[in-house]
Structure 1
Amino acid sequence: MPVDPSIEALLDHVNAHPLPRIIDTDPRILRELNRQMGATAVLPEPIEVGSVENTTLPGPAGRIPVRIYRPDGSGPFPTVVFFHGGGFVVGDLDTHDDVTRRMCRDVNAVVVAVEYRLAPEHPFPAAYDDCLAATRWIAEHIDDYGCRRDRLAVAGDSAGGNLAATVALTFRGEGRPLAAQLLVYPVTDFIGDHPSRTENANGYFLGTQDVLDLQHLYAGHDPALRGSFTVSPLRADSFAGLAPAIVATAQYDPLRDEGNAYAQALEDAGVDVFARTYAGLIHGFLNLFPVSPAADAAVTELYTQLKHQLRGSARR
């Protein structure tokens, strides 16, 4: 299937103005370029939710900024801890504000978006440590959030999908139950080679060289570190007992096959998995729903699946 026409127009513009090599560019410049590109696909008006609060949570290196989205109504609600994408190097609470507002509205859940520390200033394990600390805090203080003790989920896209997967693995190891994990085109493997890295190496916004550069900035080159489950969740020793998963990949994404491999590994271990590769879409489609009907349909399906997973009898 060809690239969705709405997205193809965006790609034509991006490909006509090549971005600088990531590894050779000041990360502050990369972040500004990311914000500028993201501004072309934002909603004209923010999605309305019950309330939005900017605050902080305690973390291993100081306070962690978070943004809490609450639905209309009195609850109790499920809670989703969301980690933004951006290759561990770019992205923040604002770049994914449309995404998290819509998640709050469509899933009818409290969404806590986490602004973790970024590489290369803060390489691994900074992002993982921040996301794990934030999720632990929310789990231990759930009455301050959605109040549904049995309905806590993690979610993220790209690098954020990696962080959601690694937090879910760690929670499983600690005996802390999660109700669901939503992994959108997640980074799952820092040491493997997958056909989609060659098939979709160039021309689809995220290139294979970009992936390699970002992986190096986050986790260096030590094979032992890169192969640990806290960096490469696909390399975990076991996937049994993990939270039900929703795993989404895109046809034209160099990360497609490692995301699909992760979904298969979970399913083989007996985990309840909803997996979908979205035809005609590219890496980053979660942010493109304001400009692409195909991306909008994909986001609708994913959020519907997450809402379904978070249903259940309320227990306090």
Structure 2
Amino acid sequence: MDRFVRALIQWQAGGRPEPARTLPVAQLRDRYAAQAAHVRGEATRDAGIETKDQLIDGGDGEFGVRTYLPPTDRGRLVTYLHGGGWTVGDVDTHDPVCRRIATELGAVVVSVDYRRAPEHPHPGPLQDGIAASEWADRTFPGRHHVIAGDSAGGALAVGISMHHRDHGGIGFAAQLLVYPPADPELRSQSARKYGSGYLSEVDDLRWYYDQYVPDPARRTDPEINLLGADHRGLPPTVIGTAEFDPLHDEGVELAVRLAADGVVVHHVPAPGLVHGYLLMADIVPAASVATRNVLAAVEQMLAQVPMAQ
């Protein structure tokens, strides 16, 4: 394991934190925000990026988006869904991630502050993500549009892609999924092997599913059980996984199933790292490298897509 990650694990363990599943949601959100701030550096804030926060209509209410304008615009657009178990996280916790994407891809980034569970269970966050992707496509037309997300946001990104495929909507140039959850039953070997002591606890992951999909019957929905979905016709996909992650094997299996359904897939492993490494890129050198690697894979895919006329 990367020595900086090991130090983070020791730092967190030293505080004897209560498991996420035992905390009130408001307190858990505050803790997640504080942890994200702890690993945030200043480097990504000095990139000459302009941002704008605004509210947009989700059909049954408003939610927020934050738009990032890159210092060098290369005609790309990324709609980004943050991680946090559909329950925590927001545009602030993932601000450094979106700044990196904007800078390294030369892309306008629309970060979605979707309404979260348990107040807004499935399919609420997914519907917000769909509305945000449509808003982004209308507001910044004629660009290579990438749908992207990390962790729970990665699962939302796949659901958004499936919606547009099935309804003749946006033809995304690519999708970026970083350590996405793909099996609500959490049956993989990595869930057993790395389910405790690696920053992301598998029992907490089960609790997050309970918040987002309280009706067990809905967990077979293709937007939730990604391993059981029909992936045909989805956009070229970059999947990033972390070695010491309960969700590692799900990401690998999702890559296999996408490829079996004819999707172009580039799997980017992150040796020595844990779930959530995108948020550590400012202070963990290996996480910075892994972040660059997944974005380089997206860059390679976009370079092969002709510009729209």
Q: TM-score interval w.r.t. the shorter chain?
A: over 0.9
State whether residues 49 and 101 of structure 1, in contact with CA within 8 Å, keep that contact through their aligned partners in structure 2: no
State whether residues 76 and 148 of structure 1, in contact with CA within 8 Å, keep that contact through their aligned partners in structure 2: no
Alignment of 1:73-222 (within 5 A): 73=72, 75=73, 77-139=75-137, 141=138, 144-145=139-140, 147-149=141-143, 151-176=144-169, 177-191=171-185, 193-222=187-216
Note if 1:228 corresponds to 2:255: no
State whether residues 81 and 155 of structure 1, in contact with CA within 8 Å, keep that contact through their aligned partners in structure 2: yes
State whether residues 47 and 71 of structure 2, in contact with CA within 8 Å, keep that contact through their aligned partners in structure 1: no
Change (3 A) 1:18 1:235: farther
| One-letter amino acid of the counterpart of residue 204, structure 1 | Y
Q: Please identify, of 15-24 and 56-65, the stretch whose mean Cα deviation from structure 2 is larger.
A: 15-24
Which secondary structure does the structure 2 equivalent of 1:240 belong to? coil
| One-letter amino acid of the counterpart of residue 55, structure 1 | Q
* Residue in structure 2 matching 1:243, options 216, 235, 238: 235
Change (3 A) 1:133 1:158: same
Question: 1: distance between equivalents of 2:18 and 2:46?
Answer: 33
Change (3 A) 1:180 1:261: same
Q: CA deviation at 1:76?
A: 6.2
Aligned to 1:267: 259
TM-score by length of 2: 0.95
Q: CA deviation at 1:288?
A: 0.6
Question: 2: distance between equivalents of 1:298 and 1:292?
Answer: 10
Aligned to 1:9: 7
RMSD between superposed Cα atoms in Å = 1.5
Q: CA deviation at 1:221?
A: 4.3
Q: CA deviation at 1:240?
A: 1.3
| One-letter amino acid of the counterpart of residue 126, structure 1 | G
| One-letter amino acid of the counterpart of residue 61, structure 2 | G
Q: CA deviation at 1:192?
A: 5.0
Change (3 A) 1:7 1:154: same
How much identity, in percent, do the aligned residues show? 33
Which secondary structure does the structure 2 equivalent of 1:148 belong to? coil
Q: Which runs of 5+ in 1 are unaligned?
A: none
Deviations 1:5-58 (A, max 9, x none): 011101001122233233331111001111111111111251424421111221
State whether residues 49 and 104 of structure 1, in contact with CA within 8 Å, keep that contact through their aligned partners in structure 2: no
Question: 1: distance between equivalents of 2:98 and 2:225?
Answer: 25
Q: Which runs of 5+ in 2 are unaligned?
A: none
Which secondary structure does the structure 1 equivalent of 2:232 belong to? coil
Q: CA deviation at 1:138?
A: 2.2
Aligned to 1:62: 61
State whether residues 49 and 69 of structure 1, in contact with CA within 8 Å, keep that contact through their aligned partners in structure 2: no
Question: 1: distance between equivalents of 2:291 and 2:277?
Answer: 8
State whether residues 148 and 315 of structure 1, in contact with CA within 8 Å, keep that contact through their aligned partners in structure 2: yes
State whether residues 82 and 155 of structure 1, in contact with CA within 8 Å, keep that contact through their aligned partners in structure 2: yes
Deviations 1:136-186 (A, max 9, x none): 2222x1xx32x334x111000000011011111111112331100000000
Question: 2: distance between equivalents of 1:47 and 1:219?
Answer: 39
Change (3 A) 1:192 1:204: closer
Deviations 1:54-110 (A, max 9, x none): 11221033222001011135x561110000000111101110111000100001111
Which secondary structure does the structure 2 equivalent of 1:134 belong to? helix
Question: 2: distance between equivalents of 1:67 and 1:21?
Answer: 30
